[in-house]
Amino acid sequence: MNDKNEKTMGQRIRSRRKELNRTMMDIAKEMNVSTAAVSLWERDESSISGQRLNQLCKALDCSPMWLLDGIEYLAASTKRVENKYTKYEMEKLDNIFNILPREHRLKVVEYAQNLLDDYYADMSAKINMIKSMKMKE
């Protein structure tokens, strides 16, 4: 999942599926859709609805943001409880946080909250965009 956003969503779907050694049929069965639907998504010939996007992310063990635009290499996995990068980053943040005086810690918390708010606003906008897309005929 280390692909940057130079690939299309369909290319990311295909590469992630292959990375997991899964077939289009595996994904289709898990999502209760046709193999043809998965094929259309992989070829960027059909849009995916918000509900299906969430199902696909679960099937591919990836985040919606990564699937939509290729960001979030360190996204939380739905199947893995621990991520070595996240663990390292949390330990580093914990050490920094413990060194800072209270007034600076409050600024860090406020900054993190602002980042989180921006992240979810952007993600919601992208998901709404996908929901509003119509299937290609």
Return d(Cα 35, Cα 93) in angstroms, integer: 44
Structural tokens at position 33: 């859709």
16, containing H or E segment: helix 9-19
Q: Which of 71, 18, 78, 66 is nearest to 42 (CA)?
A: 18
Identify the band that residue 17 occupies on the pLDDT scale cut at 50, 70 and 90: very high
Q: Which of 62, 64, 16 is nearest to 38 (CA)?
A: 16
The verdict on pTM exceeding 0.75 is: no
At 111-131, the pLDDT tens digits run 988 888 887 777 777 777 777
pLDDT above 70: residue 82: no
Structural tokens at position 4: 């940057």
Over residues 27-32, mean pLDDT: 95
Give the per-residue pLDDT at 122: 78
Question: Any alpha helices (H) in the chain, and if so which ranges?
Answer: 9-19, 24-31, 35-42, 50-60, 64-69, 84-99, 102-132
**Domains of the chain (ranges, CATH numbers):** 9-132 (1.10.260.40)
